Structure 1
Amino acid sequence: MNGISPKVQNQIAMLQQIQQQMQTIGAQKTQYEMAVREAKRATEELKDVAEDAPVYLSVGTVMMQKKKEEVEKNLTEKIETLELRVKSLEKQETMLQGKFEQLQAQIKQALEGKAPVNAS
């Protein structure tokens, strides 16, 4: 990066960090969304099960028999928690995207020599 000011080099490094954070958040969001889909699918499958039929829940390496209503309640709570996490990650993603675009514009201006780069 010869000929690039230390300030711009620092901003480029910040831009790369933001990009890595966005990738990490995207991966986490995908995992949570997949877990939500799985829990919703399990909830749908439980609708076809009779109220008095045994329902088995995998806990680690052990299968445990539980009441249908208890399993449904746990799945509902799990879905709500996961959906909150997804929303939180979406907010972080939006915030980082805004910072990324702003920093990218500042770097572009500095490299084109249009205006001095403001440090964030």
Structure 2
Amino acid sequence: MDNIPPKVQNQLAMLQQMQQQLQTIVSQKAQYEMTVREARRAVEDLGDVPEDANVYMSVGNVMMQQSRDKVISSLNEKIETLDLRIKSLEKQEKMLQSRFEQLSTQIKGALEGKPQSAS
């Protein structure tokens, strides 16, 4: 590491940080996608339940009886919110991935002795 110029060492540190950010984003996105799948499944299952059936919804640590329509509405809102978050994370992921690839190319070029383009 001593023979690597300070600028390249900085870039390597940035690259590691970007990689960690990418891992965090991918993990969050996967978690949200799983929650959306579960909520969609619940909405689908509730479609088979009579309107006057007792339906319970978890509110924090408490289960509360709610109307079937209210639970479906709540689940659909949750799905919409999470879909927006997923789209936002996908944009962040693409942007970070692009920056990661650019920085990787710059580092490889610097280590191979090629002149770097200004960024």
Please give the range of the TM-score, normalised by the shorter of the 2 chains.
over 0.9
Counterpart position of 1:68: 68
Per-residue deviation, residues 80-120 of structure 1 (Å, max 9, x unmatched):
000100000000000000000000000000000011364x4
Q: What TM-score, normalized to structure 2?
A: 0.95
Residue equivalent to 2:80: 80
Report the TM-score, using the length of structure 1 for normalisation.
Answer: 0.95
1:61 to partner: Cα distance: 2.7
SS state of the match for residue 76, structure 2? Answer: helix
Distance 2:116 2:49 in 1: 67
Alignment deviations for residues 34-92 of structure 1 (CA, whole Å, 9 cap, x no partner): 11011001001101100111111122332211111111110000000001000000000
Q: Give the whole-Å Cα distance in 1 for the aligned partners of 2:102 and 2:59.
A: 46
**CA distance in structure 2 between the partners assigned to 1:9 and 1:76 by the alignment:** 48
Distance 1:107 1:117, change over 3 A: farther
Counterpart position of 1:91: 91
Contiguous gaps of at least 5 residues in structure 1: none
Identical-residue share of aligned pairs (%): 67
- Structure 2: unaligned runs, 5 residues or longer: none
Aligned partners of 1:7 and 1:35: how far apart in 2? 42
CA distance in 1, matches of 2:81, 2:62: 24
Match of 2:12 in 1: 12
Deviation digits for residues 10-44 of structure 1 (CA, Å, limit 9, x no counterpart): 00000000000000101111110111011001001
**Counterpart contact for 1:46–1:68, Cα < 8 Å:** yes
